[in-house]
């Protein structure tokens, strides 16, 4: 039985999915995490947590911590490797955990690029870019979660990368009509993203206000599922736009509940200013919901224009409102796009296929 050590955030939904899949596939699985676990989801799956303590979410994402915590943890990771004796070390996220993977000195080392670690982190300075370069060069296998990330690795660092997307569990993310009964005749427009500038929640809010003004014959509601630094500003803006009765802030929800919120919506929106990939879009499509999304490069591979959703210009309030209006006025179109969306996910982004591809990579490297 092969032993896999994941260097990854134990509270990340993606970490939990990958680790759980590996454990269920028969791998002896352990995790080293810089952040402390919020809850114990791993013990029942037979997954070992090798890190002691850890930082809470607030401190882990603070700028001062990011400058030093990787290197300070190097010795602890080496000890975890000695104690666990893995066959593979797989670092998820190039900056923090990719650095730990390099510092531990173990091979075969696999590193996975998730998005901002490749698109934002290297842009901060020459030192940040050099850190990512060294982590990529040290790895025996490089994995990108989308084609755009694979192209960036190849173009900017002249290294090959395998593409294994964050697949969707279509057994969990599926149409659940009973969840929609929470609301009667209202048409629910929603998003499940952090309330941060990159995800453009202010643009969505203003587009929704314009939609409400122009569609007085429909009862509309906007859902924000998630929390973030913009929430106070958004709540003030709701009052200024006089739509407080039609906007709901659900806050951050446990990932195990996300599929329920997708099913409470009629239209899902993701109009990010930039994205490396669109997991939330695929989850919505798997639940049979039409999507409105921006022309951000990373979102282009997760939908089919006029078939599973509608794309709008980045940062465009008018285009977002217009696309929403099209779907609000045409229930048959919403249902048709939802059906096509689920079919699209099943054919292209099924979770089991991603797991099989990852395990195949492990097995191929093991034979070399």
Looking at the DSSP assignment, which residues form a beta bridge with residue 51? none
What's the helix, strand, coil split of the chain in %, to 5? 50, 15, 35
Q: What is the pLDDT of residues 266-276, one digit of tens each?
A: 999 999 999 88
Distance between CA 170 and CA 47 in Å, rounded? 24
- The reported pLDDT for the residue numbered 342 is 98
Pairing of β 220-225 and β 291-294: unpaired
**Has residue 261 got a pLDDT over 50?**
yes
Q: 72: burial class by Cβ within 10 Å (0-12, 13-18, 19+)?
A: exposed
DSSP 8-state assignment for residue 37? P
Q: What are phi and psi of 358, to 5 degrees?
A: -65, -50
pLDDT at 67 over 70: no
Q: Check residues 310 and 217 and name the one with the higher pLDDT.
A: 310
119-157 in b/e form (b: 16+ CB < 10 A) is bebbeeeeeeeebbbebbebbebbbbbbbbbbebbeeeb
* CATH class of the 3-167+350-367 domain in this structure: alpha beta
Residues 6+ apart with CB under 8 A from 2: 27, 28, 87, 88, 362, 366
Q: Assign 272 to helix, strand or coil.
A: coil
Per-residue confidence (pLDDT) for residue 54, from 0 to 100? 61
Domain with CATH 3.40.50.2000 in the chain: 3-167+350-367, 177-348
Q: What average pLDDT score do residues 328-354 get?
A: 96
Q: What is the 3-state secondary structure (H, E, C) of 18-32?
A: HHHHHHHCCCEEEEE
Q: Provide the sign of the torsion angle of the four alpha carbons 277, 297, 317, 120, taken in this order.
A: positive
User: Mean pLDDT across the stretch 121-132?
Assistant: 91
Give tens-digit pLDDT for 128-143. Answer: 999 999 999 999 999 9
User: Is the pLDDT at 64 greater than 70, yes or no?
Assistant: no
Three-state SS for 110-176 is EEEECCHHHHCHHHCCHHHHHHHHHHHHHCCEEEECCHHHHHHHHHHHCCCCEECCCCECCCCCCCC
Half-sphere exposure of 131 (CA within 13 A, CB side): 26
Please list, in sequence order, all residues whose beta carbon lies within 8 angstroms of the beta carbon of residue 252, skipping any fewer than 6 positions away. 225, 226, 227
Q: Is the confidence at residue 341, as pLDDT, over 50? A: yes
* 242 has pLDDT over 60: yes
Mean predicted lDDT score pLDDT of the chain: 91
DSSP secondary structure, 283-350, as one string: HHHHTT--EEEE--GGGGGG--BTTTEEEE-TT-HHHHHHHHHHHHH-HHHHHHHHHHHHHHHHHH-B
pLDDT digits (tens, 9 = 90+) for 145-171: 999 999 999 999 999 999 999 999 999
Q: pLDDT class for 93, splitting at 50, 70, 90?
A: very high
The one-character DSSP state at 244 is G
At 94 the pLDDT is: 94
CA angle 218, 253, 313 (to 5 degrees): 50
What is the number of H-type helices and E-type strands within the chain?
17, 13
Contact 218, 189 (CB under 8 A): no
| CATH fold of the domain at 177-348 | Rossmann fold (3.40.50)
- Percent residues over pLDDT 70 in the chain: 93
DSSP code of residue 3: E
pLDDT digits (tens, 9 = 90+) for 13-54: 899 999 999 999 999 999 999 988 989 999 999 999 998 766
């Amino acid at each position: 039985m092969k032993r896999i050590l994941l260097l990854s955030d134990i509270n990340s939904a993606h970490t939990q999915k990958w680790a759980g899949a590996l454990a269920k596939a028969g791998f002896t699985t352990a995790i080293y995490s810089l952040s402390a676990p919020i809850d114990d989801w791993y013990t029942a799956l037979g997954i070992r947590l090798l890190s002691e303590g850890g930082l809470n979410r607030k401190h882990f994402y603070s700028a001062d911590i990011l400058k030093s915590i990787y290197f300070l943890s190097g010795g602890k990771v080496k000890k975890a490797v000695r104690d666990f004796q893995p066959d593979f070390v797989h670092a998820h996220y190039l900056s923090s955990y990719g650095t730990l993977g390099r510092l531990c000195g173990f091979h075969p080392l696999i590193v996975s690029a998730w998005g901002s670690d490749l698109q934002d982190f290297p842009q901060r300075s020459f030192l940040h870019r050099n850190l990512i370069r060294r982590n990529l060069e040290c790895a025996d296998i490089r994995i990108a979660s989308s084609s755009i990330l694979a192209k960036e690795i190849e173009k900017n660092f002249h290294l090959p990368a395998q593409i294994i997307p964050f697949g969707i569990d279509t057994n969990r993310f599926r149409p659940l009509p009973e969840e929609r009964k929470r609301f009667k005749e209202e048409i629910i427009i929603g998003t499940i993203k952090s309330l941060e500038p990159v995800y453009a929640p202010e643009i969505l809010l203003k587009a929704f206000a314009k939609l409400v003004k122009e569609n007085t014959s429909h009862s509309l509601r906007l859902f924000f599922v998630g929390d973030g630094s913009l929430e106070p500003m958004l709540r003030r803006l709701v009052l200024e736009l006089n739509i407080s009765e039609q906007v709901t802030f659900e806050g951050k929800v446990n990932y195990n509940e996300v599929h329920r919120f997708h099913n409470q919506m009629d239209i899902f929106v993701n109009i990010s200013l930039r994205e490396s990939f669109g997991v939330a879009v695929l989850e919505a499509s798997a639940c049979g919901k039409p999507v409105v999304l921006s022309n951000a490069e990373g979102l282009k591979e997760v939908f089919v224009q006029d078939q599973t959703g509608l794309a709008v210009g980045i940062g465009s309030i008018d285009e977002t409102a217009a696309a929403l209006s099209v779907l609000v006025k045409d229930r048959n179109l919403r249902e048709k796009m939802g059906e096509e969306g689920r079919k699209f996910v099943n054919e292209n982004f099924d979770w089991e296929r991603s797991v099989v591809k990852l395990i195949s990579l492990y097995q191929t490297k093991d034979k070399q």
